[in-house]
Every structure is written in structure tokens, then in C-alpha cells.
Amino acid sequence: MQQPAIYSAAQSVFHSSRHGFVGPALFALSLFGLGTSVTFASGMEISTPGLVRTAMTAGAVASPAEIKNFAAAVRGIKPLNEQVHNALSQKGITATKREELKKSYMTSVNRILASNHLTAEQYSSMLKQTQDDPAFAKQVEGAMQ
């Protein structure tokens, strides 16, 4: 069975890894380390005054606005992932520079998610849903067009 385009796009952006960085600033889909060291984690909710945010739960139906926001977040995070991955893949990168890149990446992802009214948990849940639910993946793919 052929995977929807959103699944391929998500996989090209995010690769699973056995390595990760666990800390208070860590949240969904953060790029860490060389090669394919991207970790999936959540734990820090982004809050914007006046917004009540809840995590998507299994079987939850995303609204058209949530799908649009998710698609926009994927579009925003993809080039950032590529940029940071390339920087971290350079030979001779110091531990200090690696940490600076991680911190900058986390700040940028935080900003992208917040600007699209998503928490890390929602983003992670919706990304997983694109992989598990072909109909949802097609909705997201349509929103990305």
C-alpha cells in the first residue's frame, strides 16, 4: 500500500533515533546530534495568554483549523530541521556549538508551534495520527497544498 504524501514528508523531516536529550526544554520533534539523531519527546506545554490548550487524544477528531495549523507548523519546521541537521553534521563541531544549535532550534520550534496555536503534545499526536490514519493524512496533505 502506498503511503500518503504527508507520511513521506513527515518521515523526510523527522527520523526516529535511539539518542535523545531529556531536559526541561525538550519537547516534540527536536533535532539532536549527528546523522539521524532526531528525538520524539514531549513534556513542555507552550502557553499563550488566553488560549486553553489540550492534547489530542487517541481517536480525537481534529478541527479544520487544527489541521491547517498543523500543516503550517510542518511547513515551518521542515526547513529548520534541514538547516540544523546540516549544521550538526559538520565535522569538528564543538560541544558548545552543538548546545547553542540545540537551544536555538528549541526556541525556533517553540515559536513555530506557538504561532500555529499548537502544543508539543498536539503536534506530536497529530504527526503520529498522519502515520496511523490515512484519511487524516489526506486531510493534512490537502491543507499543505
Q: Considering the domain boundaries, does residue 55 fall inside one? A: no
> How many Cβ atoms are within 10 Å of 9's Cβ, its own excluded?
19
Domain span at 136: 5-44+63-144
Q: Considering the domain boundaries, does residue 122 fall inside one? A: yes
Which single residue is written with the C-alpha cell 519527546? 41
Q: Considering the domain boundaries, does residue 24 fall inside one? A: yes
What pLDDT is recorded for position 59?
Answer: 55
Q: Considering the domain boundaries, does residue 57 fall inside one? A: no
What pLDDT is recorded for position 34?
Answer: 24
* pLDDT tops 80 at residue 28: no
Q: Considering the domain boundaries, does residue 101 fall inside one? A: yes
| Residue 136 contacts residue 64 (beta carbons within 8 Å) | no
Q: Considering the domain boundaries, does residue 51 fall inside one? A: no
- What is the count of structural domains for the chain? 1
Task: Give every CB contact of residue 73 below 8 A, 6+ residues apart in sequence.
Answer: 112, 113, 116, 118, 123
Q: Considering the domain boundaries, does residue 25 fall inside one? A: yes
Whether the model clears a pTM of 0.75, i.e. scores above it, the answer is no
Task: Kindly give the interhelix angle for 134-144 and 120-132, rounded to the nearest 10 degrees.
Answer: 120
The string of pLDDT tens digits covering residues 34-76 is: 222 233 333 333 333 333 344 454 456 889 999 999 999 999 9
Q: Considering the domain boundaries, does residue 49 fall inside one? A: no
Tell me which of 129 and 16 has the higher pLDDT. 129
What pLDDT is recorded for position 41?
Answer: 32
| Residue 120 contacts residue 44 (beta carbons within 8 Å) | yes
- For 105, half-sphere exposure in the C-beta direction (CA atoms, 13 angstrom radius) is 29
Q: Give me the phi and psi of 31, to 5 degrees please.
A: -90, 125
The string of pLDDT tens digits covering residues 82-131 is: 999 999 999 999 999 999 999 999 999 999 999 999 999 999 999 999 99
Judged by DSSP in three states, 123 sits in helix
Grid cell at residue 15? 527520523
